[in-house]
Amino acid sequence: MIEMHIGFDDTDSPKGGCTTYIAALLVEKLDSMGASFVDYPNLVRLNPNVPWKTRGNGALCLRIRCPNNLVEKIIETTIEVIEENAELSCEETNPGIIFFFNKVPQEIRDFAKRTVQGVVEMEEALRLVKTFGAEAVSMKKGRGIIGGLAAIGENLNADYTYEVIAYRTPENRGTTRRIRALSVKEMDEKTFPLTFNNIDPGTSRILITPRGPDPILYGIRGENPEVVKQAHEMVLQEESVERWVIFRTNHGTDAHLRKITSISEIQPYTPVVVRGIVAKEPKVIQGGHVILSIKDKTATVDCAAYEPTGILCETSKNLIVGDFVEAHGGVRPASTRHSITINLEKMRILELARKITLLNPICSDCGKRMKSMGKTKGFRCEKCGFRASQLKKTAVETNRKLKRRLYITSPRSQRHLTKPLCRYGREKSNAPKRTIKGWHFP
């Protein structure tokens, strides 16, 4: 018997396809050939800020055990299934497949971590493939080699979650998804917080169904395989489900965010967690987005909270100069229109500055707030006519609407990797020992 890890990526296009769907097809094929799965298929989200991703920058890894004499057949079948189902006619689709045998070395795990948190080069992936004797198959430019190797290296031994994905039959793909909304609401009520991000609380929008032409009918995320399976059974489908699979993933774990100690370390396309003091009054720009700047001893950087981030946008609007915050988000490179910017996913308020407002003095005769008669001309009471040329404005401390806590973008605008509030305290630290019975259909 031999342990085999099959990683692959970059098979879909904006017009269709989905790498998870290919994984579902392969699960059935390899299963019927006699391979035994040592883990659920791993759906690993890589850095959401790389510019060349199609959608969610997801890569896949299947981990199996099989008799040595089956290896060649498994390799052949995998290549065949990917060739048949990848969107090869799309220029931007460049699949890559990696076959890795036995224990995954630390160097490939480190590579995976860097692929989730930053940008890596093809040369490095190819060097690792060569050093550790993996087999790589590239189609067209083969950029998917990077994602395939990273999916193998990310063994999801730290925090992880599950997602059950149900797929549509070919004739329905591209049409409006048909599931009973009320059943999703009931499922959410019964299973939250063990399942999460089913419905956006602010807009009541159903979040389990994607919107594109891909074959996914819906995906339900949760803390354990039993609960996502149960939740899936609660959803009333009004169109046929062709197949479904439970994946183990790094969704909702914040795996992409890397803590850095100074603003000057910020690099484009690299998600960060960084602390700074609000340096400029937040500005609301067209579309309701908020831009603010934070600074530390080393540099200043802009942060953007986009309108759909809801709570986060509202929070950012209410920050004032002097607030000490921790910004969490992806980094957009500078362009001709804006400087390098952190696109906020979360904001932790560490210290709130005192908000002082200068108010006109109160009339000593009648108690009404007085009116200014112009700069250096003193004040006049409109009610009783009392005038005072010596009085000055008084400083009044205003209550801040914000609290010292973590604010997270609303579920509708969370990235796959963003850890939602309900997951704090639920982090896991060990991979499961075995899979549950019936984790895929058929």
The residues binding ligand ATP (CB under 6 A) are: 9-10, 12, 18-19, 46-47, 50, 52-58, 94, 115, 119-120, 143-144, 146-147
**Residue with Cβ nearer ligand ATP (19 or 249):** 19
Check if the beta carbon of residue 114 is closer than 8 Å to that of residue 64: no
**Residue with Cβ nearer ligand ATP (50 or 284):** 50
Check whether the bond before 193 is cis (ω within 30° of 0): yes
Rounded Cα gap, residues 168 and 265, in angstroms: 45
**Shortest CB 56 distance to ligand ATP, Å:** 4
**Shortest CB 151 distance to ligand ATP, Å:** 9
**Shortest CB 214 distance to ligand ATP, Å:** 7
**Residue with Cβ nearer ligand ATP (216 or 349):** 216
Give the residue closest to ligand ATP by C-beta: 147
**Residue with Cβ nearer ligand ATP (144 or 310):** 144
Report the run of H or E that residue 328 belongs to, with start and end: strand 324-332
Rounded Cα gap, residues 55 and 51, in angstroms: 10
Check if the beta carbon of residue 239 is closer than 8 Å to that of residue 437: no
**Shortest CB 53 distance to ligand ATP, Å:** 4
**Shortest CB 22 distance to ligand ATP, Å:** 9
**Residue with Cβ nearer ligand ATP (45 or 292):** 45
From residue 125, alpha-carbon distances to 84, 114, 115, 145 in Å are 25, 11, 10, 7
349 CB-near residues (< 8 Å, 6+ apart): 315, 319, 323, 324, 325, 402, 403, 404, 405, 406, 407
**Residue with Cβ nearer ligand ATP (54 or 341):** 54
Dihedral sign for Cα 331, 332, 335, 338, please. Answer: negative
Backbone dihedral angles phi then psi of residue 29, each to the nearest 5 degrees: -60, -50
**Residue with Cβ nearer ligand ATP (150 or 344):** 150
Query: Within 13 Å of residue 238, how many CA atoms lie on the same side as its CB?
Result: 10
Query: Within 13 Å of residue 378, how many CA atoms lie on the same side as its CB?
Result: 10
Cβ neighbours around 407 below 10 Å, total: 23
**Shortest CB 296 distance to ligand ATP, Å:** 26
**Shortest CB 174 distance to ligand ATP, Å:** 16
**Residue with Cβ nearer ligand ATP (23 or 347):** 23
Residue showing tokens 């509202």: 314
**Shortest CB 18 distance to ligand ATP, Å:** 6
**Shortest CB 146 distance to ligand ATP, Å:** 3
**Residue with Cβ nearer ligand ATP (177 or 347):** 177
Rounded Cα gap, residues 166 and 242, in angstroms: 8
**Of 224, 248, 249, 244, whose CA–CA distance to 440 is shortest?**
244
